[in-house]
Amino acid sequence: MEIPSKLIQALRTARSVAVLTGAGISKESGIPTFREAQTGLWARYEPTELATPEAFNENPELVWQWYTWRRGLIQATEPNPGHYALARLEAQVPQFTLITQNVDGFHKIAGSENILELHGNIFRTKCSVEHTVIKSWDESQGDEPPRCPNCGEYLRPDVVWFCEGLPQDVLAAAIRAAQSAEIFLSIGTSAVVHPAASIPVYALESGAVLIEINPAPTHLTPYATYVLAGPSGEILPALVAAAWPESG
Ligand code: NAD
């Protein structure tokens, strides 16, 4: 794909860049999107039966098993060239923020540093009652969720479920990053899950150049300054190499 020279020049000279990633950037690692993750054994469940506080209260074993299965899928794969290209981009730009809706932790493994995880991280748990974050836990109870070391209640995945609010400090930092970005990249997100989907709009309203990388059009496509239609695992490395040939 031909990358417009004006876009390469804008990226090379930008002092502040913010990025929003969604499930699409991890697809080339083999991680299914949320809907696709409900395959096989899990196909008969509605998302609300697996990813809500009510579902966890009613059937904690079922919800825990689903997350154990998803953690296994992620651990069996690794970040792809798109994740690594974003880490190289961060190294070139004075002010860089990576905002992600993904819970797979791949950006950190790939070397990105200034990461805002809007929807939590599947490799952390928190107490279902006190909400204290617990980073390691004992899997020995089998299908039953582990217990909080402080109060003995169940631990749950530290992710944002349907109907739950985003961590306000993380969301506020993401909006600030979008508002101060000269260039904003929206990558592999369908831009329908709010409030994450509004973040590129803050960037646009503040005058940022908006670049979308996605093989399919989204609600954001008509507003994008540049649309790079294709898989992020191919386009991101090409974009970073075009702007900084020495970085690869
Ligand atoms: P989504 O599933 O709604 O949209 C995925 C987008 O990625 C689509 O627009 C699709 O066209 C695009 N896409 C597909 N292949 C691509 C590729 N190779 N390169 C670039 N883009 C590609 O995902 P979303 O917008 O992130 O929203 C779904 C929610 O599900 C999020 O809130 C997220 O937290 C959660 N989720 C996370 C993960 C993960 O952590 N990897 C996986 C599934 C779902």
pLDDT tens for 52-109 read: 999 999 999 999 999 998 999 899 999 999 999 999 999 999 999 999 999 999 999 9
Protein residue with its CA nearest to atom 11 in ligand 1 = 216
Per-residue pLDDT at 49: 87
CA of 5 to the centre of ligand 1 (A): 28
List the catalytic residue out of 83, 119, 131, 219.
119
Q: Which of 100, 159, 186, 189 for a ligand 1 pocket mutation test, highest count of atoms within 8 Å of Cβ?
A: 189
Protein residue with its CA nearest to atom 20 in ligand 1 = 188
Is the per-residue pLDDT at 34 higher than 70? no
Structure tokens of 27? 């697809």
Decide: 20 and 101 in contact? Cβ < 8 Å.
yes
CA of 127 to the centre of ligand 1 (A): 27
Task: Provide residues with CB under 6 Å of ligand 1.
Answer: 22-28, 31, 33-34, 101-104, 119, 188-190, 193, 213-216, 218, 231-233
Q: What does the alpha-carbon distance between residue 121 and residue 101 come to, in Å, rounded to a whole number?
A: 10
CA of 64 to the centre of ligand 1 (A): 22
Nearest to 191 by CA among 225, 217, 173, 163: 217
Question: What H or E segment, with its residue span, contains residue 19?
Answer: strand 16-21
Higher pLDDT, 156 or 33: 156
**What is the number of H-type helices and E-type strands within the chain?**
8, 9
Higher pLDDT, 108 or 40: 108
